[in-house]
C-alpha cells in the first residue's frame, strides 16, 4: 500500500456505503488520486448526499492528503444525442452532478460526450457544446467538465482529438472545459502508444489539436483489443495490447508527470489488482529514459 510516491496516481473507487468509503478504499489501494461517481452511474436519480456526509468526505480527502479528486459522470448522460427529451434529461442530470461535485468539494467532472447517431460528428459537436452550456447555466456550481476521449465505437463523439477541440471552441464556457485522455480509448481509436515514435506522434497530435495545457487527467487502462479496433475493453496494466512499453512511454514523459492519472481496470474485492497495477505504473515511471524534458 505504498503512498509515498509523489506521483498523482490512483484509481476509480466505489462509493458503496457512502462517499467517504471511497476515500478509505483509495488509501487501502495505495492511491494518491481518487475518482468516484457522485451517484449511481446507471440511474437518473441518485441518493441524496446530506451535509454531514459531504463534510465527512471533505475531511477524509484532506486527511488522506490526496493529490487529486475528480468525479465521473453517469453513463446515462448523452450530450450528443438527437432525442430532445433525452438531451433535456441529460442536461438536468449533468447540472445535478455538477452541484454534487460542489457539495463534495470536487473541482471537476469527467464526461463521455456521447453518441450522435446518424447526425455526423459536426452536428454531434454542436449538440455537446449546447448541452454543456445548458448544464452550466442551470447548475449552482463552479466545477469544470473534462471531456473524455472515445474509443471510436458507433457514432460516439471524441474519438478524434479535433472533435474535442471543436466542442471546446463552440461552447460559450471554454474556460470550464478540459480533456481527459483514456489510454485504452485512444489506442482503440487508432492512436499508437507502444513505440516511442508512435507515442510521440500521438502526443504531438494532441498538442496540435487541443494543447497539453488542456489535458487535465489521464485514465490509465490497458486494452484487450488491438490498435484501431474501435472496441472499448479495459485490461490490467501490461496485460493487454498496449503493454508495458506503452505505459513506460507515458509514465516517463516529463510533460505529463503532474497530470493526475486514474486506473479504471477490473476490480477485485480486496483491491489487490489496484495495488499491482499501481506498483507496475510506479516501476515504469522510474525506468531510465532518454527523452529530454520539454516545457
Residue 3 lies in a domain: no
Q: In this structure, is residue 2 part of a structural domain?
A: no
The pLDDT value given to residue 118 = 86
| Cα within 13 Å of Cα(276), Cβ side | 13
| Res. 291: pLDDT tops 80 | no
The residue among 267, 250, 272 whose CA lies nearest residue 259 is: 250
Q: Is residue 134 part of a domain?
A: yes
Q: pLDDT by residue (tens digit) across 255-274?
A: 999 999 999 999 999 999 99
Q: Is residue 221 one of the residues assigned to a domain?
A: yes
**Residue 289 above 80 pLDDT?**
no
Of the candidates 59, 76, 68, 56, which has an alpha carbon nearest to the alpha carbon of residue 11?
A: 68
pLDDT in tens, 147-158: 999 999 999 999
Under 8 Å between Cβ of 80 and 127: yes
Query: Does any domain span residue 212?
Result: yes
**Among 44, 57, 157, which Cα is nearest to 94's?**
44
pLDDT for the residue numbered 2: 55
Q: Is the pLDDT of residue 162 over 60?
A: yes
CATH of the domain at 176: 3.20.20.150
> Which pLDDT score is estimated for 290?
53
Q: How many CA atoms lie within 13 A of 184 on its CB side?
A: 22
Per-residue pLDDT tens digits for 219-232: 999 999 999 999 99
How far apart (Å, rounded) are the C-alpha atoms in residues 55 and 20? 9
Q: Tell whether 60 is covered by a domain.
A: yes
Which helix (H) or strand (E) segment holds residue 110: the answer is: strand 108-111
Rounded to two decimals, the pTM is 0.95
The answer to the question of residue 292 being in a domain is no
CA 12 vs CA 61, 69, 207, 248, 266: distances in Å: 14, 10, 26, 21, 10
* pLDDT cut 70: percent of the chain above it: 96
pLDDT for the residue 284: 98
* Percent with pLDDT over 90 in the chain: 92
For the chain, how many residues are written? Answer: 295
The per-residue pLDDT for 183 is 99
CB 222 within 8 A of CB 250: no
DSSP 11: E
Residue 294 confidence (pLDDT) above 50? no
Asked if residue 25 has pLDDT above 60, the reply is yes
List the end-to-end C-alpha distance of the chain, in Å, as a whole number.
33
Is residue 293 a part of any domain in this protein?
no
Domain that residue 52 falls in? 9-285
Tally of domains within the chain = 1
Amino acid at each position: 500500500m505504498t503512498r509515498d510516491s509523489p506521483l498523482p496516481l490512483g484509481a476509480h473507487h466505489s462509493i458503496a456505503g457512502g462517499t467517504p468509503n471511497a476515500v478509505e478504499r483509495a488509501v487501502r489501494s495505495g492511491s494518491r488520486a481518487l475518482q468516484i461517481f457522485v451517484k449511481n452511474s446507471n440511474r437518473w436519480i441518485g441518493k441524496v448526499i446530506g451535509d454531514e456526509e459531504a463534510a465527512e468526505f471533505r475531511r477524509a480527502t484532506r486527511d488522506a492528503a490526496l493529490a487529486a479528486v475528480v468525479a465521473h459522470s453517469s453513463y446515462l448522460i448523452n450530450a450528443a444525442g438527437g432525442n430532445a427529451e433525452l438531451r433535456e434529461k441529460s442536461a438536468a442530470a449533468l447540472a445535478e452532478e455538477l452541484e454534487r461535485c460542489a457539495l463534495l468539494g470536487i473541482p471537476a467532472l469527467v464526461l463521455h460526450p456521447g453518441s450522435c447517431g446518424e447526425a455526423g460528428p459536426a452536428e454531434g459537436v454542436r449538440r455537446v457544446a449546447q448541452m454543456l452550456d445548458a448544464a452550466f447555466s442551470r447548475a449552482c456550481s463552479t466545477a469544470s467538465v473534462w471531456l473524455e476521449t472515445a474509443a471510436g465505437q458507433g457514432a460516439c463523439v471524441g474519438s478524434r482529438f479535433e472533435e474535442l477541440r471543436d466542442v471546446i471552441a463552440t461552447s460559450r464556457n471554454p474556460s470550464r472545459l478540459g480533456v481527459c485522455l483514456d489510454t485504452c480509448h485512444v489506442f482503440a481509436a487508432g492512436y499508437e502508444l507502444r513505440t516511442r515514435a508512435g507515442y510521440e506522434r500521438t502526443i504531438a497530435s494532441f498538442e496540435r489539436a487541443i494543447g497539453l495545457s488542456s489535458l487535465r487527467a489521464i485514465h490509465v487502462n490497458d486494452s484487450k483489443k488491438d490498435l484501431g479496433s474501435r472496441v472499448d475493453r479495459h485490461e490490467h496494466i501490461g496485460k493487454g495490447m498496449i503493454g508495458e512499453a506503452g505505459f513506460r512511454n507515458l509514465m516517463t514523459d516529463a510533460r505529463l508527470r503532474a497530470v493526475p492519472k486514474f486506473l479504471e481496470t477490473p476490480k477485485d474485492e480486496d483491491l489487490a489488482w489496484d495495488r499491482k497495477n499501481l506498483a507496475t505504473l510506479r516501476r515504469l515511471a522510474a525506468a531510465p529514459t532518454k527523452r529530454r524534458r520539454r516545457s
